[in-house]
A and B are shown apart, each in its own frame.
Chain A
Amino acid sequence: MLWAILTVAVLIVLLQVRRSRRTVAALERRLEVASRGLESLQQAFSHFAPAEVVEEIIAHGVSTRSEKKEITVLFADLKGFTALGERLEPEVLVRVLNGYFERMSRAITAHRGHVSKFLGDGILALFGALEANPWQTNDAAHAALAMRTALADYNAALRSEGLPPLAVGVGIHRGSVVAGVIGSAELVEYGVIGRAVNLAARVQTLTRAFAVDVLVTEAVRDVLDQRFRLAPMPATEVKGVPGPLATFAVEAFDPTSDAPARPAGGRQSG
C-alpha cells in the first residue's frame, strides 16, 4: 500500500516537473522571440538617434539628453513638383515620389548621412548628427553629387514610362545646432534645432534663382575639399540672415585634381 502511494506520488511529481519544464521551454521561446524583436527595434532605432540616446530610451523609457553640436545640414526639394502633382494621377504621383525618396535616401546613407525628415517633397538630411564625423561636410557634398547622378538615372526611367523628369535643388550648410529628443507625449523624435537648419533650407530655395542644383554656403566652402569644383554665385539677401549671403554652386568633384587644401577657418556660424 505504502509503495503504491509512493509510486503515485513520484509519478505526480514527475508529471509536474515535466509540465514545468514545458512551461519554462515555452516561456524561453517567447522570451527569445521578444528578445529578437527588441534587437531589431534597437537596430532600427540606431538609424534615427545616436547610440547613447537609444540606450537611454531603452533603459529609462525616455531621453532627456540634449547637446550642442556642429553638423552639416542638407536640404533637398523638388522643383516644380506642386504643379506636376496637379497633372499626375494620385497613385502615379505617390509612386514617382516614393521612387525619388528611395533613391535619394540611398545616396545620402551611402555617404554617412541620415535622413531626418521627409517634408512634403523635401528631404532634411544630417551629417555628423548621429555619430562624430570629422569628414561630415565632404560627405554631404559627395552625397549631393550622388543624388544628382541617382536623379539622372531615375529621370531616364521616368522618361521611358512617358512621365516628366524631376528636378531637385539642394542646399548645404554647416553650423551649430541643438540635438535631442523633441516632441510631446504623443509624438517624439530625435531632431535638431537651430539657424543652420533654416539656412540650409533658404539656400536650397536659391537654387531656383541661380538655375543650379547644388548650392553650399561659405561655411561649407571653407572646409570643403579643394577637389570639389565650385562656382561663386552673386551674394543675395535671404530672410533671417543679416547682410547678403554668399553661396557657391557645386559643379563636380575631380579626384585627380592636385589643388591644395583650402585653409581651415573663416567659418560662418549657423
Chain B
Amino acid sequence: MTSMAAPAALPDAEWSECLLPAGPVPREMAREVRRAVGALPGWVPRLAPSPWIVRAFRDTIQRPAAYLPRTFFDLGAVVVSQDNSCRYCYGAQRAVMKVLGYRDEYLDRLVRDFHVVDLPPGERAGLDYLRRLSRADPRPGRAESEAVVQAGLDRRAVTEIAAVAAFCTFNNRVATLLALPPDPIESLVRGPLFRFIRPLMARRMRPRARPPEPPPQPNDGPLAALVTALGDSPAASVVRRMIEGAWNSPVLPRRTRALLLAVVARALGCAYSEGEARRLLAAEGLEGSHVDEILTHLGSAQLDRREARLVPFARETVRYQPAAIQRRVRETCDAMSREETLETIGTVALANALCRMSVVLDAPRAAG
C-alpha cells in the first residue's frame, strides 16, 4: 500500500533496477518535450514507446491548473510523492523545488509535517485533502472537500486538487512500477555549478499563471462526466487527452484496458468508474454476468491468458510497497513486449488516477 508515512530518507529506500532500458526518442517527440519543459528529462527515453504516456508526463508537469495557488502544484507533488514512496518523483520534484529557490530545511519540514510549515490555512487544508485523495483509504467524501473550502480555497481550486491528486497518482505509479532511475536533475542540483546556473533554470521552470480554458471538445469518449466536472480548468484537456491516448492506443485491446479500470474501480469502491468500465466492456461484447464473475473473483474462463495475469495484478497497484510491486511487475510482465509492459503500467496508473479523481462528481459544482 501507499504507506502511512514514507521514510524520511526516501533516496535510500529499496528500489529495483529499471524494468525497461532507455531507447531511442523520435525527433518530433524530443522537440515537443524540450519545447514544453526546456530539457529532455530522464523519463523520456524510457517511456518513448508509449507516446500517450510521454504526453501525459509532459502535460502534467506543466502544472495545468488555473485556480490553485501558483506554488500548490509543486508543494503537493513533493508531499504526495514522498507519501507514495516514489523515489523517482520525490527526488526529481525536490530538485525542481531547489531550482525554484526552496531550501532543504523548508522541504524537510514540509515532508515531515506540512501542518507546521508557513502556509495559508487554505493551502494547508488543501495539502491534507490532496494526500487523502492520493491515499484513498478511504476515498474522501464531500465533507472533506467542504472543509478545504471553509479553510479558504475557492471551490474551483478544490476541484483542481482532485486533478493534481490524479496526476501525482499517475506519475508516481508509472515511475514506481517501472522503477525509473534517479533523474539527472538530482545530480545537477548537487553539483558545484548549480548556484550559478540556478537563476537561469528557475526562469524556465517557474510556475506561470494558467488562464482558464474552454472545456475540451468533443468530450464524448470514456469517462466524459469526469472531464466535464473539471469545468474550464486546463486540467480538463489534459485528462481528456490522457484518456483518449490510452483508449486509442493499439498495443493493448480495449477490453483489457476496460477490465483493468473495472478492477481498480472495484478495489477503490468507485461506482462511477466501475459503471463506465462495464459500459465499455459491454460495447466490447463481454456480458454483464461475466464481468460480475471477473470482478468477484479476479479470474474467469472468459479471460485470455494475458488478461488472466493482468486482472489480479491491477488490484495490487491500488496500494503497495515499492519494492514488492516492482517484483510483482517483473513477474507479471515477464513474457510481455516492452510496449505491452509500458501500456499495462500506463493503463493501471491511469485507472488509479481516474478513480481517485472521481470524487469531483460527488462535490457540489463550482460556480463558474
B-contacting residues of A (Cβ < 8 Å)? Answer: 28, 32, 35-36, 38-39, 42-43, 45-46, 50-52, 54-55, 131-132, 134-135, 138, 223, 225-227, 255, 258, 260-261, 264
Contacts and interface: CB of A to CB of B under 8 A. Distances in A.
Given A28-B105, A131-B319, A227-B297, A54 B4 contact: yes
Main secondary structure of the interface of B (DSSP, over half): loop
Query: Which among B266, B297, B298 has the highest number of chain A CB atoms within 10 Å?
Result: B297
A260 B293 contact: yes
B300 interface: yes
Given A32-B8, A46-B1, A55-B4, 17 more contacts: A28-B105, A32-B108, A32-B112, A35-B8, A35-B112, A43-B4, A46-B3, A46-B4, A51-B4, A52-B138, A134-B266, A134-B267, A135-B297, A138-B298, A225-B297, A261-B293, A261-B296
Contacts of B49: none
Interface string B278-313: 000000000000001101111111000000000000
A192 to B, nearest CB: 18
B271 interface: no
A51 to B, nearest CB: 5
B135 interface: yes
Nearest to A46: B4
B243 to A, nearest CB: 24
A43 B5 contact: yes
B269 interface: yes
B155 interface: no
A39 B7 contact: yes
A46 B2 CA distance: 11
A18 to B, nearest CB: 18
Interface residues of B, number: 29
A261 B300 contact: yes
Contacts of B7: 36, 39, 43
The 3 tightest CB contacts between A and B, nearest first, are A258-B301, A225-B297, A261-B293
Query: Which among A43, A45, A223, A261 has the highest number of chain B CB atoms within 10 Å?
Result: A261
Nearest to B137: A51
B297 A261 contact: yes
Interface in B260-275: 266-267, 269
A38 B169 CA distance: 25
A39 B105 contact: no
Nearest to A54: B4
Contact of A131 (B5, B137, B292, B300): B137
Contacts of A138: 297-298
Given A39-B7, A264-B296, A131 B108 contact: no
B303 to A, nearest CB: 10
Given A46-B3, A134-B267, A51 B135 contact: yes
Query: Which among A46, A135, A138, A255 has the highest number of chain B CB atoms within 10 Å?
Result: A135
A255 B299 contact: yes
Interface in B225-270: 266-267, 269
24 contacts: A35-B113, A36-B7, A36-B8, A39-B6, A39-B8, A42-B5, A43-B5, A46-B1, A46-B4, A50-B137, A51-B4, A54-B4, A131-B1, A131-B137, A132-B269, A134-B295, A135-B298, A135-B315, A223-B296, A226-B297, A227-B297, A261-B296, A261-B300, A264-B296
Contacts of A134: 266-267, 269, 295
Interface in B313-339: 315, 319
Contact of A45 (B4, B269, B293): B4
Nearest to B139: A132
A264 B300 CA distance: 15
A22 to B, nearest CB: 15
A46 B9 CA distance: 19
A226 B300 CA distance: 10
Contacts of A223: 296
Interface in B32-53: none
A222 to B, nearest CB: 11
A268 to B, nearest CB: 18
Nearest to B312: A135
Nearest to B266: A134
Nearest to B2: A51
A260 B294 CA distance: 10
A131 to B, nearest CB: 6
Nearest to B294: A261
Contact of A42 (B4, B266, B267, B315): B4
Contacts of B5: 38-39, 42-43
Nearest to A41: B5
Contacts of A227: 297, 299
Contacts of B108: 32
